[in-house]
A and B are shown apart, each in its own frame.
Chain A
Amino acid sequence: MENSKENFIGIKPIFYTLVFEMKSQRKKFYFFSIVAIVVALLLGYFLQLIPNYLLSNTQAEFFKNGLQFISFITLFAACLFFSGIICSEYDKKTGFIVFPKINKYKLILGKYLGNLVLVVTIITIYYFILGLLGFFYYGGPINIRFFYSYGIAILYVIALSSFVTFFSSFMRSVNLTIISTLIILLIGFRIADQIVTLIFAENFEPLYSLAYLGSLITGILEYPFPDPRFSEFSFSGMGPGGMGGDFTLGQWLTPSIEMGITLLLVFIVVYFVLAAFLFKRRQL
Chain B
Amino acid sequence: MTKNTNISIIGVSLFCIIFLGMISTITVANGNYDVALTKGTEVFTVVTYDESAWKNTVNSTTSPSNWFEGDANKTGARSKNTIKGWNYVVWETYDVFVSLFLPILFEQEEIFPLLGILNSQGYNETTINTNYTNSYNLWVGLRSVWNFTIGSFKEDPTIANDPLIIFQNPMDFDEILLNYNNLSSALNSLPAIQFSGYNFPILESDDFLWLFIFNGLTLATPFSSYLEELIITLDCKNATVYKNILTIARTGETNYTVQIVYGSEGTIASFVVKDNGNNIIYQIVATNSDWLFFTIVIVLVTSIIGLSVFLIFRKRKKSKFR
Contacts and interface: CB of A to CB of B under 8 A. Distances in A.
Interface in B264-304: 288-290, 292-293, 296-297
B289 A137 contact: no
Given A57-B144, A58-B157, A135-B289, A50 B23 contact: yes
Contacts of B144: 57-58
Nearest to B296: A132
Interface string A33-73: 00000000000001011111111111010000000000000
Interface stretch (B83-91, B199-207, B228-236): B83-91
A44 to B, nearest CB: 11
Interface in B19-59: 19, 22-23, 26-27, 35, 37, 39-41, 43
Interface in B71-130: 80, 82-87
Given A57-B156, A132-B296, A137 B82 contact: yes
B165 interface: no
B157 A57 contact: yes
Nearest to B287: A139
Most-contacted residue by chain B among A48, A51, A132, A137 (CB, 10 A): A51
A223 B80 CA distance: 19
Contact of A138 (B22, B37, B82, B292): B82
A51 B26 contact: yes
B41 A139 contact: yes
Chain A contact-residue range equals 20 to 34
B195 to A, nearest CB: 40
Contact of B85 (A53, A136, A140): A53
Interface residues of B, number: 31
A199 B19 CA distance: 44
B40 A136 contact: yes
Contacts of A49: 23
Contacts of B160: 57
B85 A52 contact: yes
Interface in A128-171: 132, 135-140
Most buried by A among B40, B43, B157: B40
B26 A55 contact: no
B87 A60 contact: no
Interface residues of B: mostly helix, strand, loop or mixed? Answer: mixed
A83 to B, nearest CB: 29
A57 B22 contact: no
Contacts of B260: none
Contacts of A56: 84
B239 interface: no
Q: Is the interface of A mostly helix, strand, loop or mixed?
A: loop
B248 interface: no
B261 interface: no
B30 to A, nearest CB: 13
B84 A57 contact: yes
Most chain A beta carbons < 10 A, residue from B26, B27, B293: B293
A223 B157 CA distance: 12
Nearest to A128: B300
Contacts of B22: 50
A54 B43 contact: no
Contact of A51 (B19, B85, B155): B85
Given A54-B84, A57-B84, A138 B155 contact: no
Contacts of B142: 54
Given A48-B39, A58-B144, A135 B82 contact: no
A135 B84 contact: no
A57 B39 CA distance: 11
Contacts of B26: 51-52
| Most chain A C-beta atoms within 10 Å of own C-beta, residue among B37, B82, B160, B297 | B82
B27 A223 contact: no
A132 B293 CA distance: 7
B84 A55 contact: yes
Nearest to B290: A136
Contacts of B156: 57-58, 223
Contacts of B35: 51
Contacts of B37: 51
A49 B24 CA distance: 10
Nearest to B27: A51
Nearest to A135: B293
Contacts of A136: 40, 290, 293
A24 to B, nearest CB: 18
Nearest to A140: B289
A29 to B, nearest CB: 15
A50 to B, nearest CB: 5
A132 B155 CA distance: 19
Contacts of B296: 132, 135
A116 B43 CA distance: 40
Contact of A137 (B41, B86, B292): B41
A53 B288 CA distance: 22
Contacts of B27: 51
13 contacts: A51-B23, A52-B85, A52-B86, A55-B83, A57-B157, A57-B160, A60-B155, A132-B293, A136-B40, A136-B293, A137-B39, A140-B292, A223-B155
Given A55-B39, A136-B290, A137-B82, 7 more contacts: A51-B35, A55-B82, A55-B83, A57-B160, A138-B40, A139-B80, A223-B156
